[in-house]
């Protein structure tokens, strides 16, 4: 029997014992042995849980027990997850995690510690919940030259934007509903300001390039400013507004950004709705490959943790090409320089005057039909953020600027 | 240096040496050794190919050369691919293949032969071209209880149906264009009558259940009868017509079928257009997971073959849970019994009369708005194919019946 410990008994961690139980003999067959949760580390007590008797309050109990061969770290946050995981691996225990913050911040060091101690550090559940993401990068796509990764990586914002579109409601109103439903936190910043998605795309960029960039080198923009008028405009463009996280790789340079973008309905990301996530990978050889599924939620994510537990304990993960990446400050191109297309809405009476002004400022300008009275809407490109920031001053009353996904 | 042989130097096989060359050091690193194509078996000569000097015309040259550790079988057809692969494995050589026909017909025997001889038989490229499909079934989804697999598995028919929709053209007209472009064969039956998709869904059903069913137990229906009028109707339903291949698993029973279906735009399969393929897997734990990408084409498919070559030669595939399935005639439920919903178009003047007739015959009936003059269109359900065949006789001039995907 393989003894394991869970550290952090919240949404995801709390699902692990149930998933282990529900998989039953299938898991035993995959591992070649039965798996038992011996300890659960949490500050709280869980008197009503059938697993309540396994709760301990000190990490040392787990670290010092040589029977424990693996720790499932589902506590979230960079600290003390980093320290606990490091200590466990130094004692010869595998670590599997759903914690994107610690992987995005310290993934390089954690993978090195794993290697030095002959154990595994696996993090399938840290990106895309139950969607197989990390493993395809390490197996099916191994050796392929990745050109870009584009994803809808945050279920909360995707739920909000989907509802704003289908019910033509304001952001604040839908956010309040998402909070009431438990889909959004009371402080929604990590989700709606793109911080969570940024952590995930930093991990995917590291898997694609071997370079782990610091958070401040990735750009992120909030969805708080998106309005029903923006969504109407996207509709007229046969498109949807999505919070897209992208890593673009060309000529050895990397650009990582998260921003609300207008996605044309011909792009498969446009039809990813509600809490679903999707990761689209473009490689030189295979072209586009997309992985789609539930990006969050107790059972999908706990299921991904348990898949990693099985891969670690069976030895399957050891034979896979284990991802390695190094921290590389300065590896990412400053986002301000990447040329993009934009949807721009301006309060103006004369379409022709505005069109003329914009056609002097942009290489290409197209008037969008069906604008509300007193508004002129244009599709302009291409300009970098830096150039756009300069251009905006000449444009008068700009109501909205949204990037167009290409 | 690892010596390998390619048998069948057509579209896919012809791409393998190029992919091996383009991956270069990445492949060497993944395998832990360089990979060399020593022989290419084909009936033809290739005097203009840079690999023309490796062409041999007898399988024995390859089988008898102990240096050859792996054969990439890309010849297509069940025979002699089955015999050649069996002979190679009996001589201790791994076999990787892109040949869905041989896997769908003899996959069980080939996997058994591999096991008995301590070698690997891998077939990632047989379903979904460059989309990672087989490997996620064997790794990320291992141990999960699969409820259904639904896929758009044939690029040719998806191209035809996409064009018929976007350009409102007749089937025969678009087929002729697809043939001119090389997307469809001169005899298009394997594609347009669902035979190719049926082979692939039989393989996916076998991976999901462990049961390989004979081809005659899976139902397939042609797309030849789909008309622009059907596509108009689907449009009014905010849906698209797709050739969907499904394996439904419930209560230990399996139902496998391929048929043109009306797919609502809320379903991610609806936005899979042109030659793209997608495989959607529903599991009890993770919910829906979808894999999307180029399902055919020289480089994506050859890339998948080379990924299998790397997995076999590096030993990574040996640690994965290797799929096993057994031939199980009678495992599939006769398709005629599965209850489904239908779109039905009837030549009739009175909607109310038709509605009345149908509401006596079906449990639920809904009138579709915007029908052309002299036609009545209904969404009816649920009925099995057997029941529907009976009902049709009472309906008068039925112009079209198309299943609705759920």
List the CATH number of the domain containing B255: 3.30.360.10
Q: Would you call A210 an interface residue with chain B, using a CB distance cutoff of 8 Å? A: no
Q: How confident is the model at residue A113 (pLDDT cuts 50, 70, 90)?
A: very high
- Name the 3-class secondary structure at A131: coil
pLDDT above 80 (res B27): yes
Instruction: Give the orientation angle of helix A171-180 with respect to helix A155-167, to 10 degrees.
Output: 130
Distance, CA of B149 to CA of B291 (rounded, Å)? 11
Decide if A333 is inside a domain.
no
Question: 10 Å Cβ neighbour count for A52?
Answer: 12
How many cross-chain Cβ pairs, A to B, lie less than 8 Å apart? 173
In percent, how much of chain B has pLDDT > 70? 98
Same domain for A287 and A156: yes
Give the nearest partner residue to B289 out of A135, A292, A319, using CB atoms: A292
pLDDT-based confidence at B140, cuts 50/70/90? low
Domain contains B111: yes
B12 and B96 fall within a common domain: yes
pLDDT at A200: 94
CA separation for the pair A366, A236 (Å, rounded): 13
pLDDT range class, residue A176, cuts 50, 70, 90: very high
Bridge partners, residue B283, by sequence: B146, B287
pLDDT in tens, A32-42: 899 999 999 99
Q: What is the pLDDT of residue A337?
A: 82
In a shared domain, residues A212 and A280: yes
How does strand B2-7 pair with strand A398-404?
unpaired
CB of A264 within 8 Å of a chain B CB? The answer is no
Predicted complex: ipTM over 0.90: no
Alpha-carbon distance A230 to A169, whole Å?
11
- For chain A, what is the mean pLDDT? 91
Comparing CB atoms, the residue among B124, B268, B273 nearest residue A292 is: B268
The answer as to whether B66 is a domain residue is: yes
Q: Convert the pLDDT of each residue in B85-105 to its tens digit.
A: 999 999 999 999 999 999 999
Selected for mutation to probe chain B from A143, A303, A304 (highest B CB count within 10 Å) is A143
Q: Is the pLDDT of residue A44 over 80?
A: yes
In total, how many domains does chain A have?
Answer: 3
For chain B, what is the total number of helices (H) and then of strands (E)?
Answer: 15, 18
The answer to which of A114-128, A200-214, B125-139 has the lowest mean pLDDT is B125-139
Across the range B216-231, mean pLDDT stands at 96
Q: Is B140 on the interface with A (CB under 8 A)?
A: yes
Query: Of A269, A197, A182, A278, nearest to B288 (Cα)?
Result: A278
Q: Are residues B158 and B112 in the same domain?
A: no
Q: How many CB atoms lie under 10 A from the CB of residue B399?
A: 16
CB atoms near residue A113 (< 10 Å): 20
- Judged by CB atoms closer than 8 Å, whether chains meet at A285 and B300 is answered as yes
Place of tokens 């590291």: A206
Tell me the backbone φ, ψ of residue B143, rounded to 5 degrees: 90, -15
Kind plus residue range of the DSSP H or E element containing B389: helix B385-392
CB of A166 within 8 Å of a chain B CB? The answer is: no
Mean of pLDDT values over A186-191: 92
What HEC string does B327-349 produce? ECCCCECCHHHCCEEEEEEEECC
B245 pLDDT more than 80? yes
- How many of the other CB atoms lie within 10 Å of CB of B31? 20
B200, B211, B375, B385: the active-site residue:
B200
CATH number for the domain spanning B360: value is 3.30.70.260
Q: Are residues A287 and A316 in the same domain?
A: no
B30 to A266: CB separation less than 8 angstroms, yes or no: no
pLDDT in the model for residue A226? 97
Query: Would you say residue A140 has pLDDT above 70?
Result: no
Distance CA B98, CA B305 (A): 7
User: Does B331 reside within a domain?
Assistant: no
Same domain, residue pair B218 and B345: no
SS3 B297: coil
A186 or B198, which is more confident?
B198
Helix ranges restricted to H, B124-253: 134-138, 155-167, 171-180, 189-192, 195-209, 228-236
> Is residue B97 domain-shared with residue B227, that is, in the same domain?
no
pLDDT tens-digit map of A259-315? 999 999 888 898 898 888 999 999 887 778 899 988 777 888 898 899 899 989 988
Q: Encoding tokens for residue B34?
A: 């360089």
Which DSSP string do the residues of A258-311 spell out, in sequence order?
EEEEEEETTSGGGG--TTEEEEEEEETTTEEEEEEEE-SSHHHHHHHHHHHHHH
Question: Inter-chain contact B307–A266, Cβ cutoff 8 Å?
Answer: no
Query: Has residue A142 got a pLDDT over 70?
Result: no
Residues B125 and B43 in one domain: yes
| pLDDT > 90 in chain A, percent | 64
The answer, yes or no, to whether residue A132 has pLDDT greater than 90, is: no
State the Rg of chain B over Cα. 23
| pLDDT of amino acid A23 | 86
Residue-level pLDDT at B321: 65
Radius of gyration of chain A measured on its C-alpha atoms: 23
A16 and A144 in a single domain? The answer is: no
Can you list the pairs that B235-238 forms with residues at least 24 positions away whose Cβ atoms lie under 8 Å? B235/B165, B236/B368, B236/B369, B236/B370, B237/B262, B237/B264, B237/B343, B237/B368, B237/B379, B238/B264, B238/B265
Interface test mutation site (partner A, options B165, B285, B294, B321, max chain A beta carbons within 10 A):
B285
Q: Which residue from B397, B404, B403 is spatially nearest to B376, judged by alpha carbons?
A: B397
pLDDT of residue B322: 67
For the sheet containing B55-56, what is the strand order?
A: B55-56, B35-41, B2-7, B68-73, B94-97, B121-122
Residue B328 lies in a domain: no
Summarize the confidence of residues B104-130 as an average pLDDT: 93
Query: Which one, of B324, B118, B60, B113, lies nearest residue B211 by Cα?
Result: B324
Note whether B58 and B125 are same-domain residues. yes
pLDDT of residue B377: 95
- In this prediction, residue A112 has a pLDDT band, given cuts at 50, 70 and 90, of very high
pLDDT of residue B167: 95
| Position B143 confidence tier, pLDDT thresholds 50, 70, 90 | low
pLDDT for the residue B324: 78
pLDDT over threshold 70, residue A105: yes
Is the predicted pLDDT of residue B185 greater than 90, yes or no?
no
Output the six-digit token pair for A368: 């969008």
pLDDT band per the 50, 70, 90 thresholds, residue A93? very high
What is the predicted pLDDT for the residue at B148?
93
Chain B touched by A46 (CB under 8 Å):
no
More confident residue, A287 or B7: B7
> How far apart are alpha carbons B238 and B250 in whole angstroms?
29
Host domain of residue A310:
2-130+299-325
Placement of tokens 């060309």 in the chain: A250
Residue B34 in contact with partner chain A when CB distance is under 8 A: no
Please, which pLDDT band fits residue A404 given cuts at 50, 70 and 90? very high
Candidates B135, B293, B321; nearest CB to A286 = B293
Quick one: how far is CA B214 from the chain centroid? Answer: 15
**What is the three-class DSSP state of B30?**
helix
Active site residue B163: no
Q: Do the domain assignments include residue A285?
A: yes
Please classify residue A168 by burial: count the beta carbons closer than 10 Å to its beta carbon, then call 0-12 exposed, 13-18 middle and 19+ buried.
exposed
B220 and B285 share one domain = yes
- Cβ of A132 and B139 within 8 Å? yes
Is B286's CB within 8 Å of A273's CB? no
The answer to whether residues B69 and B112 belong to one domain is yes
The reply to whether B215 falls in a domain is: yes
Model pTM? Answer: 0.83
Read off the pLDDT band of B142 (50, 70, 90): low
Residue A143 has pLDDT above 70, yes or no: no
Tell me phi and psi for residue B21, to 5 degrees.
Answer: -65, -45
- Beta-bridge partners for B241: B262
All residues at 6 or more sequence positions from A396 whose CB lies less than 8 Å from its CB, including other chains: A346, A347, A348, A354
B144/A132 Cβ within 8 A:
no
Cβ atoms of B346 and B397 within 8 Å: the answer is yes
CB A130 to CB B268 under 8 A?
Answer: no
Is A282 part of the contact surface with chain B (CB cutoff 8 Å)? no
- Which residues between 354 and 393 in chain B have a beta carbon less than 8 angstroms from any beta carbon of chain A? none
Q: Do B27 and A143 touch (CB under 8 A)?
A: yes
How close B392 comes to chain A (CA, Å)? 35
Nearest-angstrom CA–CA distance, A320 and A140: 10
| C-alpha to C-alpha distance for B338 and B112, rounded to whole angstroms | 33
The C-alpha of B374 sits at a distance from chain A's nearest C-alpha, in angstroms, of 32
Q: With an 8 Å Cβ cutoff, is A265 touching chain B?
A: yes
Q: Answer whether B401's CB lies under 8 Å from B347's CB.
A: no
**Does the pLDDT value for residue B294 go beyond 70?**
yes
Average pLDDT, chain B: 91
Q: Do the beta carbons of residue A334 and residue A389 sit within 8 Å?
A: no
Q: Which CATH number is B95's domain given?
A: 3.40.50.720
Residue B332 lies in a domain: no
State whether B30 and A321 contact (CB < 8 Å).
Answer: yes
């Amino acid at each position: 029997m393989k003894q394991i410990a869970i550290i952090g008994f919240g949404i995801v961690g709390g699902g692990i014992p149930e998933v282990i139980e529900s998989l039953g003999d299938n898991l035993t067959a995959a591992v070649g042995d039965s798996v038992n949760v011996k300890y659960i580390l949490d500050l709280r007590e869980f008197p009503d849980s059938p697993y309540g008797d396994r709760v301990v309050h000190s990490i040392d109990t787990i670290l010092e027990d040589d029977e424990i061969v693996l720790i499932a770290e589902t506590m979230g946050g960079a600290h003390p997850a980093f320290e606990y995981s490091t200590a466990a691996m130094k004692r010869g225990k595998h670590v599997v995690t759903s914690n994107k913050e610690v992987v995005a911040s310290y993934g390089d060091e954690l993978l090195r510690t794993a290697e030095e101690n002959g154990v595994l550090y696996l993090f399938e559940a840290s990106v895309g919940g139950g969607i197989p993401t990390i493993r395809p990068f390490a197996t099916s796509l191994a050796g392929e030259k990745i050109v870009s990764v584009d994803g809808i990586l945050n279920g909360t914002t995707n739920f909000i934007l989907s509802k704003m579109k289908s019910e033509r409601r304001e952001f604040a109103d839908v956010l309040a509903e998402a909070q009431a439903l438990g889909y959004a936190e009371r402080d929604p910043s990590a989700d709606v300001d793109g911080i969570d998605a940024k952590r995930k795309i930093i991990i995917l960029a590291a898997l694609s390039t071997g370079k782990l960039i610091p958070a401040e080198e990735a750009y992120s923009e909030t969805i708080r400013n998106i309005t029903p008028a923006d969504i109407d405009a996207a509709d007229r463009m046969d498109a949807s507004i999505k919070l897209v996280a992208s890593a673009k790789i060309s000529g050895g340079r990397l650009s990582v950004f998260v921003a609300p973008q207008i996605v044309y309905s011909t792009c498969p990301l446009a039809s990813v709705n509600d809490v679903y996530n999707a990761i689209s990978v473009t490689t030189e050889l295979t072209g586009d490959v997309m992985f789609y599924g539930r990006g969050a939620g107790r059972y999908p994510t706990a299921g991904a943790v348990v898949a990693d537990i099985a891969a670690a304990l069976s030895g399957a993960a050891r034979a896979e090409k284990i991802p390695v990446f190094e921290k590389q400050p300065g590896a990412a191109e400053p986002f301000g320089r990447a040329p993009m297309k934009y949807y721009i809405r301006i309060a103006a009476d004369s379409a022709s005057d505005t069109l003329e002004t914009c056609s002097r400022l942009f290489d290409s300008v197209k008037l969008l039909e069906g604008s509300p009275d007193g508004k002129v809407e244009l599709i302009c490109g291409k300009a970098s953020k830096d150039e756009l920031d300069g251009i905006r001053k000449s444009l008068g009353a700009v109501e909205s600027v949204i990037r167009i996904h290409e």
